[in-house]
Structure 1
Amino acid sequence: MNNKRINLQKLTDFEQQVAQRMSLDIRYYCADVNGKPSVPTSKHCRKGVTKLPEELATLISETSVGGIVLFAENVQNTAQIVKLTYDIQSAALKSESKNPLIISIDQEGGRVARFADMTGFAGNMAIGASYPKHGTSFATQVNAVIAKELKALGINNNYAPVIDVNTNADNPVINTRSFGESATQVAELGASAVNAIQAQDVMATLKHFPGHGDTHVDSHLGLPRVDHDRAKIDAVDLAPFTWAIKNSKPAMIMTAHIQYPVLDSSVFTSKSGDKLIRPATMSRKILTDLLRTDMAFDGIIATDALDMAGISQFFTEVEAVVETFIAGADLAVMPFKVKTPKDIANFYDFVKNVAKSLNDRIELEEYTLAEFQQSIARLNKYKQQYIKLPSDSIEIQIANAEKVIATTEHLNSEQALADAALTLLKNNAIKMGGDFNQQLIPISLKTTKQLHLVVANQAELDALSFALTSSINNVITNAINSKVISQEHAKINISYFIADDRKFNNINEKLIAQADVVIATLDIKTASLVDLGGMDDLNLSKGSGAKPSYGSKAQQQQKLTYDKLLKQQLTLAANLKTPSILIAKGSPFLLKQYSELADAVLLNFDDRIYQSKLGQKISPGYNASMEAILGNIKTTGKLPVSF
């Protein structure tokens, strides 16, 4: 790789201050080879940055850029991440500002988690389901573990927690990322999460202000609108933010690319000439008058990613940054793509153009230099408070981090949340072995000798089989010890059907007929770009082994194929009078068509399957589900949304 230093015109002090108010993603970078571009355009670049290229280190040092956002493509293993963040901060300390960078990541838990090797957790809706019995305990426990692990990796800002109140079942982007539909519950859990994160010296970010819970449009793909009246906005959308500001002092709040006409009905002219209501990210009434003044928030106001369609469809890159700064944002997140050396040169021009436009608006008295400097001071204040770079060698930092990531204690916390959140949505009474059983769950080993599993893929089969075997061993041990059942009578046979092996035939029908109970799994959620990472996933090339495009026919067909097969299997079980249990992972809003076909339904929210140090495939959600099915634990989760 030929990484020659790019000679660029030096930025002025003001231009460097403009760059300090920007946070760039370095998700992909394709260096020139032998002085020539390695890709036709930057849009074709799909090389994940796991080591900091010399050109990007130089950009960080010379521009004094304020932050870096990491994605799944940037994180491979603990040692690599520690080295990457170390190199990023080393480059930052060589800048004229000599300030460390805000290094951010989306590690919410559940469906949005960028580093798979960290302790994963089941997400906010699972925490919401645990609330009736456990209160804020898991909000504190979960977020403390996540923050502790992030800090060990050199990441000082978590884009979490989500405190949107999910009052719309068709919401594609929030959904299970929300603690639930009760503003009071969301507020309490959100504040507890912030306190837990920040107690570990990691900045927390409340999102998405002023509330993204009642939308049916994904702001990655369009511009959502909320038409609540002011009373509902105060009581529902703003309530968790108001509570958290008073009770947890969050370091950062992230804006939503969303229209709230009651809060600001002013219009802007888009780059295509259309007149539209100003989104919250560009609204001075919402960010300055409401959030900064009325709600007395004194932390950092950061934008959601400015490359999202809710902004990029309507504003040029320069306009987006200038408008959000004038509105009151301190930090422009992902305002410009830097994927190639040519992009680096263009970034310098971009910063200069933003600085010029800001100066013009200052001269027109639409913005003040004092406000600009207040944002710089605010960023520096929180950097000084939360970013404490270790003095240990990189080798010691790596060794320390490896002692923290996914420890047994942390994984036990993950399992504890899965157990506490497990929610029983349906449990019909059935007949088994000629005896009338009051309800299907828990099943009895006295009458259950043959189980048949229906899963989507091999990984699910491995994880479900491990959970089932462990739970059977637990129940047999307890039963034998209490002399309820003998070893000889405790045997159970297991058959299975994997949807992706395409071997559906008459043998499978016989297995269902022979089974005492069918256990099927379903991972169901509304797809959103936030699950994958962001706008770069919208038009992924199908070449070079890239994963299917977001929303592509291949992706949709894969989902529809299992949907069809699952319904077929559950219907067949019903026709053969074989009781069926559905273990669902994901969104409760999408379950009706499946739950109608099953005799019992368990919802565990958690779609994570990881490999243990012993090589086993582990799913905390499946572990909890099988323990409940076999009667080793009780289901105590309560659905925090209407279903």
Structure 2
Amino acid sequence: MRKSVTAALALLLIISLLGGNGAAMESVKGKQQANIERIIAKMTLDEKVGQMLMPDFRNWQKQGEGKATGFIEMNAEVASIIKKYHLGGVILFAENVVDTEQTVRLTDGLQKASPGLPLFITIDQEGGIVTRLQTGTNLPGNMAIGAARKEIHAYQTGAIIGSELSSLGINVNFGPSVDVNNNPNNPVIGVRSFSSDPSLVSKLGIQTIKGLQRQNMIATTKHFPGHGDTAVDSHYGLPLVAHDKERLRNIEMVPFQKAIDAGVDMMMTAHVQFPAFDDTLYISKKDGQKIMVPATLSHKVITGLLREEMGYDGVVVTDALNMKAIADNFGQEEAVVLAIKSGVDIALMPAQVNSLDMENNLTSVFNAVKSAVASGEIPLKQVNESVARILELKVKRGILPLNKIPADPPLEKKIKRALQVVGSMGHLKKERKIAEDAITLLKNEERTLPFKPRSNDNVLVLAPFDDQVESMSRSIRELADKKKMKRVQVTSMSYSEKTFSDEAVRLINEADYVIIGSYIVKNDPVVKDGQIDDSIQDTKKWATAFPRAVMNHANKKDKEMVVVSLRNPYDVANFEEAKAVLAVYGYKGYSNGRYRQPNIPAGISAIFGESNPQGTLPVDIPSVIAPSEKLYEFGYGLDMKSGKPIKIKGE
């Protein structure tokens, strides 16, 4: 086993020798399973438990040095932990992946620390607002794909992410999210979801999975059974979804079942309470109160629902167990034991280890699982089944070799390949096309758009954060450089947590055109007598108050103005009085010499007529004044050229 490299070539060799027919395939599977069973039979309990733990080394503090910093270079200390605990995998974060060459060297070093059973090296590279790589292609994100409504875009997204991660030595992507975002006040999913429609989520999710798997990348759907209809972020609290079983099966769970049927590799759990399936009560370690068990720790949800009812026999991984929804209420040792008892195969981020001095955290969790197995609380048979699933997936995706084949490419060759793949021109071209197809024009009274400025006209750009302002301003200058528009003066202001000031008034008065970016995670305007009360300038409500003040003053001065929804499109409901409104579904701007998402530049192109928006809403937009009423319906979007609603094919 230690002298081999990949299983894929070995399997192809066996298939060719056997003729490649159905019987041959069964023979291959039988031999593969027998090999895995032999491996497991020789494994110690320590080795088996290690395969089921997946910590992060996001930051690391070497002994004798200062505070912990981003772990970007393999070292003997981390290697010793991987070997000592026989870890089955690690998860990487942005702190670990600062550039292409560095990332290849890091993943190569991580794998060298585990020569017997190669690691799952995982990352959350969803595209959109959850993008860890600091170099490469920054795709528009799931809701943008939902707005574009093209399955090819979902497939291309998966293929681009898969090829870039694979070239870097990463073999598991924790994506796509197939949560159905049907709660406008959801603080953690939002644009990470394709849509509020389970059918659209399913279609686009499956295509993303296929794109990833075509690159031999392990695809993971999350967050089972569904994190879309929550108003609490499980990073900070314990959300609850109170719907009955019928509703959950018809909405939230549909994309997960479709993904299972399509052969998804992994399933990530949700730290969300689902009393319809399990209302078991636990005593919280946080405050002694009774709380319902979340899905991650529920045997009824993971084994009863996911495994037995829905027929999923792939690898189940928890969401991060250090999130407050779990850590505060259950404690790290009990959380890991309960998760494994529920039927999960891998405990993700089970203990914080930022230095050798913190190794005892991992030791404590490791020993707690071993003790639970020794006592029979966790059956050894279940552990063996989990390890078998883990090893089978490693073999399937070429991570764990079972036969002797040519040696692994030299490190320098891997680096050269990654530099050619990550952020390639072909990938960037597709990235921009997806973003442009997603732009959704929701309002365009008096044909306000496209803007057609004359030379030296003053365009005022306002957005919450400096990187967003820079993305807008730079995009305008680039259009002028390419002679797509007249060269203009660009003035700007970022307004995060500011009240509307005399400076803002002056800038609007001096402008010929005004572009205001809105970034509202959760709509919370003050409504009085059926109207938004603009007299209240509460600094806590700056995200709503400031852009509304800009809109009102610009309207008063008869300025050409457009409101751009930068994140969740639900915030457009705060700007009913605006003449022009569009949604771009992505808020990341320009920083460190690069556009961190293509969404804002694509929006600027539409505003100045370089592209004609063809996106349609993948969600309903409720009114903030009368929340039971729809302001804009699912599927709505305007064609800028004709001014008419866009007709969606097949809908």
Kindly provide the amino acid, as one letter, of the partner of residue 259 in structure 2. A
State the partner residue of 2:5. Answer: none
Aligned equivalents of 1:214, 1:181: Cα separation in 2 = 9
Deviation at 1:560, TM superposition (A): 5.8
Contact 2:499–2:545 (CA<8 Å) still a contact in 1?
Answer: no
State the partner residue of 1:600. Answer: 580
SS in 2 for 1:314: helix
SS in 1 for 2:55: strand
Task: Name the CA shift for 1:127/1:558 in 2 (closer, same or farther; >3 Å).
Answer: farther
For residues 489-528 of structure 1, the aligned pairs below 5 Å read 491=486, 493-499=488-494, 509=505, 512-525=508-521
Q: TM-score, normalised by structure 2?
A: 0.80
Contact 2:128–2:597 (CA<8 Å) still a contact in 1?
Answer: no
Residue by residue over 1:452-483, the C-alpha shift from the partner in whole angstroms, topping out at 9 and shown as x without a partner, is 33344554444323322343566x66xxxxxx
Structure 2 residue corresponding to 1:369, chosen from 380, 386, 397: 380
State the partner residue of 2:301. Answer: 286
Aligned equivalents of 1:506, 1:380: Cα separation in 2 = 64
State the partner residue of 1:242. Answer: 257
State the partner residue of 1:16. Answer: 47
State the partner residue of 1:405. Answer: 422
Aligned equivalents of 1:394, 1:319: Cα separation in 2 = 41
Contact 1:423–1:638 (CA<8 Å) still a contact in 2?
Answer: yes
SS in 1 for 2:121: strand
Task: Name the CA shift for 1:356/1:303 in 2 (closer, same or farther; >3 Å).
Answer: same
Structure 2 residue 330 is the aligned partner of structure 1 residue 315: yes
Q: How many residues align?
A: 557
Aligned equivalents of 2:53, 2:283: Cα separation in 1 = 24
State the partner residue of 2:321. Answer: 306
Deviation at 1:224, TM superposition (A): 1.1
Contact 2:467–2:588 (CA<8 Å) still a contact in 1?
Answer: no
Which has the larger displacement, 562-571 or 502-511? 502-511
Which has the larger displacement, 15-24 or 160-169? 15-24
Structure 2 residue 278 is the aligned partner of structure 1 residue 267: no
State the partner residue of 1:419. Answer: 436
Aligned equivalents of 1:636, 1:85: Cα separation in 2 = 40
Task: Name the CA shift for 1:447/1:602 in 2 (closer, same or farther; >3 Å).
Answer: farther
Q: Which runs of 5+ in 2 are unaligned?
A: 1-42, 401-406, 524-537, 622-651
Structure 2 residue 144 is the aligned partner of structure 1 residue 126: yes
Kindly provide the amino acid, as one letter, of the partner of residue 494 in structure 2. A
Structure 2 residue 545 is the aligned partner of structure 1 residue 567: no
Task: Name the CA shift for 1:120/1:63 in 2 (closer, same or farther; >3 Å).
Answer: same
Structure 2 residue 82 is the aligned partner of structure 1 residue 104: no
Kindly provide the amino acid, as one letter, of the partner of residue 518 in structure 1. V
For residues 65-144 of structure 1, the aligned pairs below 5 Å read 65-93=87-115, 98-131=116-149, 134=150, 136-144=151-159
Aligned equivalents of 1:561, 1:267: Cα separation in 2 = 40
Kindly provide the amino acid, as one letter, of the partner of residue 640 in structure 1. P
Aligned equivalents of 2:586, 2:546: Cα separation in 1 = 22
Structure 2 residue 443 is the aligned partner of structure 1 residue 463: no
Task: Name the CA shift for 1:67/1:419 in 2 (closer, same or farther; >3 Å).
Answer: same
Deviation at 1:616, TM superposition (A): 6.9
Aligned equivalents of 2:321, 2:594: Cα separation in 1 = 40
Aligned equivalents of 1:526, 1:148: Cα separation in 2 = 35
Aligned equivalents of 2:569, 2:77: Cα separation in 1 = 46
Kindly provide the amino acid, as one letter, of the partner of residue 82 in structure 1. V
Q: Which runs of 5+ in 1 are unaligned?
A: 1-11, 40-44, 430-438, 478-489, 528-556
State the partner residue of 1:5. Answer: none
Kindly provide the amino acid, as one letter, of the partner of residue 245 in structure 1. I
Q: TM-score, normalised by structure 1?
A: 0.81
Deviation at 1:286, TM superposition (A): 1.1
Contact 2:564–2:582 (CA<8 Å) still a contact in 1?
Answer: yes
Aligned equivalents of 1:315, 1:187: Cα separation in 2 = 33
State the partner residue of 1:534. Answer: none
Aligned equivalents of 1:65, 1:174: Cα separation in 2 = 30
Task: Name the CA shift for 1:73/1:491 in 2 (closer, same or farther; >3 Å).
Answer: closer
Contact 1:450–1:492 (CA<8 Å) still a contact in 2?
Answer: no
Aligned equivalents of 1:456, 1:599: Cα separation in 2 = 21
State the partner residue of 2:11. Answer: none
Deviation at 1:103, TM superposition (A): 0.8
Aligned equivalents of 1:185, 1:226: Cα separation in 2 = 21
Contact 2:520–2:543 (CA<8 Å) still a contact in 1?
Answer: no
Deviation at 1:422, TM superposition (A): 0.2
Task: Name the CA shift for 1:575/1:158 in 2 (closer, same or farther; >3 Å).
Answer: same
Which has the larger displacement, 115-124 or 173-182? 115-124
Deviation at 1:624, TM superposition (A): 1.9
For residues 552-591 of structure 1, the aligned pairs below 5 Å read 564-591=545-572
SS in 1 for 2:409: coil
Task: Name the CA shift for 1:55/1:589 in 2 (closer, same or farther; >3 Å).
Answer: same
Residue by residue over 1:243-302, the C-alpha shift from the partner in whole angstroms, topping out at 9 and shown as x without a partner, is 11112x111000111111111122233335433222111111111121111111111011
State the partner residue of 2:60. Answer: 29
State the partner residue of 1:442. Answer: 450
Contact 1:451–1:492 (CA<8 Å) still a contact in 2?
Answer: no
Contact 1:207–1:256 (CA<8 Å) still a contact in 2?
Answer: yes
Deviation at 1:214, TM superposition (A): 0.8
Contact 1:450–1:514 (CA<8 Å) still a contact in 2?
Answer: yes
Residue by residue over 1:387-433, the C-alpha shift from the partner in whole angstroms, topping out at 9 and shown as x without a partner, is 4487111111111101111111111111111100001122111xxxx
Which has the larger displacement, 405-414 or 367-376? 367-376
Structure 2 residue corresponding to 1:629, chosen from 596, 604, 607: 607
State the partner residue of 1:435. Answer: none
Deviation at 1:139, TM superposition (A): 0.7
Aligned equivalents of 1:146, 1:558: Cα separation in 2 = 39
State the partner residue of 1:52. Answer: 74
Structure 2 residue 380 is the aligned partner of structure 1 residue 380: no
Kindly provide the amino acid, as one letter, of the partner of residue 425 in structure 1. L
4+ aligned runs moved over 6 Å, structure 1: 500-508
Deviation at 1:219, TM superposition (A): 1.1
Task: Name the CA shift for 1:558/1:151 in 2 (closer, same or farther; >3 Å).
Answer: farther
Aligned equivalents of 1:279, 1:507: Cα separation in 2 = 49
SS in 2 for 1:358: helix
Aligned equivalents of 1:627, 1:343: Cα separation in 2 = 50
Kindly provide the amino acid, as one letter, of the partner of residue 522 in structure 1. S
State the partner residue of 2:170. Answer: 155
Structure 2 residue 363 is the aligned partner of structure 1 residue 348: yes
Aligned equivalents of 2:595, 2:314: Cα separation in 1 = 42
